[in-house]
Amino acid sequence: MSSGTGLTPAELAAQPEEHNRLAEGALLRADDITAGYLPGVDILSACNFFLRQGEIVGIIGPNGAGKSTLLKTLFGLIPVRKGAVSLDGVDITSAKAHVLVTRGVGYVPQTQNVFPSLTIEENMQMGIYLRSKKFGERFDVVAGLFPLLGQRRKVKAGALSGGERQMVAMGRALMMEPSVLLLDEPSAGLSPMFQDQVFVRCKQINAAGVSIIMVEQNARRCLQVCDRGYVLDQGRNAYTDSGPNLMNDPKVVELYLGTLAGRSEKPRGS
Ligand SMILES: Nc1ncnc2c1ncn2[C@@H]1O[C@H](COP(=O)(O)OP(=O)(O)OP(=O)(O)O)[C@@H](O)[C@H]1O
Ligand SMILES: [Mg+2]
């Protein structure tokens, strides 16, 4: 498993030189990015990431590793201090979230991802207020994927279960017909049945042509559905490889999959 350098293949692939070689022609890529919230405190440092057209890429790692920070940085919610982000070969390093939405990037945050006092239909309208004339057409597509959203369109999102709210959040992001969808812990806190539904839906959304980046606490399940995965630790991508290879990497198993598998999960009323 180990190379002459003592690094596993997944560790080698996370090295900057390998990243630069493999990320050639990627749809979305982040090169050597540093970002953080407070002045002088970097959460991501020298972080590399790429997503190819048509892929589902998973990001796993311990609590506080910077997974949500990476998604927020890709989506323009946190400024990039060093390094570069590009989408389809165009530099988007300083682009703001509302611009990225019009460029085909959708984002579902980890928490507070629905408007609880609005109905399902109104939540969907919020998702497409930039192109409100297309509401009916897009709502039909999204309700085809999540029938509950059509059936219960007049129900307030706050009255829904955790699993149902997650559908609203994903549906809202899909209203703008994104080519890239960033999902932050879509299965967190859901009952096993709803968790599985989330992964099945992600596969369907991906099959419909949407490339997906998925941060997940359910690491093994995530690596099963992903084309590739990254293990993020202390703001850096420490390992990257195909899902099965990461699940079989002895260091990844020892350091991350064991720990993550033991992480307590509290269903949030689904
Ligand atoms: N708004 C914020 N202001 C300051 N620091 C923050 C903020 N949000 C997150 N952090 C810090 O950034 C670090 C990374 O947090 P982040 O939320 O990206 O981790 P994560 O990998 O998503 O963790 P989790 O698995 O718990 O969701 C943590 O040390 C956290 O305390
Ligand atoms: Mg997080």
Pairing of strands 236-242, 44-51: unpaired
In this predicted structure, the answer to whether residue 9 has a pLDDT above a threshold of 60 is yes
Assigned domain for 215 exists: yes
Question: Residue 132 sits in a domain of what CATH number?
Answer: 3.40.50.300
Residue 65, ligand 1, Cβ within 6 A: yes
Assigned domain for 86 exists: no
Tens-place pLDDT, residues 35-46: 999 999 999 999
Residue 68, ligand 1, Cβ within 6 A: yes
For ligand 1, pick from 59, 67, 70, 112 the residue to mutate: most ligand atoms within 8 Å of CB. 67
Q: How confident is the model at residue 257 (pLDDT cuts 50, 70, 90)?
A: confident
Assigned domain for 73 exists: yes
For ligand 1, pick from 33, 43, 266 the residue to mutate: most ligand atoms within 8 Å of CB. 43
Residue 63, ligand 1, Cβ within 6 A: yes
Residue 129, ligand 1, Cβ within 6 A: no
Residue 37, ligand 1, Cβ within 6 A: yes
Assigned domain for 19 exists: no
Percent of all residues in the chain with a pLDDT value above 90, rounded to a whole number: 80
Query: What end-to-end distance do the CA atoms of the chain give, in Å?
Result: 41
Query: What is the pLDDT, as a whole number, of residue 3?
Result: 59
Assigned domain for 84 exists: no
Residue 69, ligand 1, Cβ within 6 A: yes
Supply φ then ψ for residue 210, to 5 degrees.
-100, 125
In this predicted structure, the answer to whether residue 176 has a pLDDT above a threshold of 70 is yes
For residue 62, the ligand 1 atom closest to its alpha carbon is 25
In this predicted structure, the answer to whether residue 221 has a pLDDT above a threshold of 60 is yes
User: What string of DSSP letters covers the chain?
Assistant: ---TTS--HHHHHTSHHHHHHHTTT-SEEEEEEEE-SSTT--SEEEEEEEE-TT-EEEEE--TTSSHHHHHHHHTTSS-EEEEEEEETTEE-TT--HHHHHHTTEEEE-SSS-S-TTSBHHHHHHHHTGGGGGGHHHHHHHHHHHSHHHHHTTTSBGGGS-HHHHHHHHHHHHHTT--SEEEEESTTTT--HHHHHHHHHHHHHHHHTT-EEEEE-SSHHHHHHH-SEEEEEETTEEEEEEEHHHHHH-HHHIIIIIHHHHTS-------
Residue nearest ligand 1's atom 17 by CA = 68
Assigned domain for 37 exists: no
Assigned domain for 83 exists: no
The amino acid sitting at 207 is A
Pairing of strands 228-233, 56-60: parallel
State mean pLDDT over 207-235.
95
Lookup result for tokens 């020892």: 254
For residue 232, the ligand 1 atom closest to its alpha carbon is 21
**Residue 246 vs residue 193, higher pLDDT:** 246
The amino acid sitting at 257 is L
**Residue 246 vs residue 256, higher pLDDT:** 246
Nearest to 74 by CA among 227, 211, 238: 211
Tens-place pLDDT, residues 157-171: 999 999 999 999 999
Assigned domain for 193 exists: yes
Query: What is the pLDDT, as a whole number, of residue 258?
Result: 76
In this predicted structure, the answer to whether residue 260 has a pLDDT above a threshold of 50 is no
State mean pLDDT over 76-88.
96
Report whether 31 contacts 23 (CB < 8 A).
yes
* Bridge partners (DSSP) listed for residue 44: 35
Determine whether 82 is exposed, middle or buried from the number of CB atoms within 10 Å of its CB (0-12, 13-18, 19+): middle
Tens-place pLDDT, residues 223-250: 999 999 999 999 999 999 999 999 999 8
Query: What is the pLDDT, as a whole number, of residue 140?
Result: 96
Tens-place pLDDT, residues 90-124: 999 989 999 999 999 999 998 889 999 999 999 99
Determine whether 118 is exposed, middle or buried from the number of CB atoms within 10 Å of its CB (0-12, 13-18, 19+): middle
Residue 43, ligand 1, Cβ within 6 A: yes
Total structural domains in the chain?
A: 1
What does the alpha-carbon distance between residue 173 and residue 178 come to, in Å, rounded to a whole number?
8
- Residue 79 zone, left/alpha/beta (φ > 0; ψ -120 to 50; rest): beta
**How far from 182 is each of 28, 72, 134, 242, CA to CA, in Å?**
11, 9, 22, 19
Query: What is the pLDDT, as a whole number, of residue 226?
Result: 96
Query: What is the pLDDT, as a whole number, of residue 124?
Result: 96
Residue 212, domain extent: 54-77+91-262
State mean pLDDT over 130-145.
93
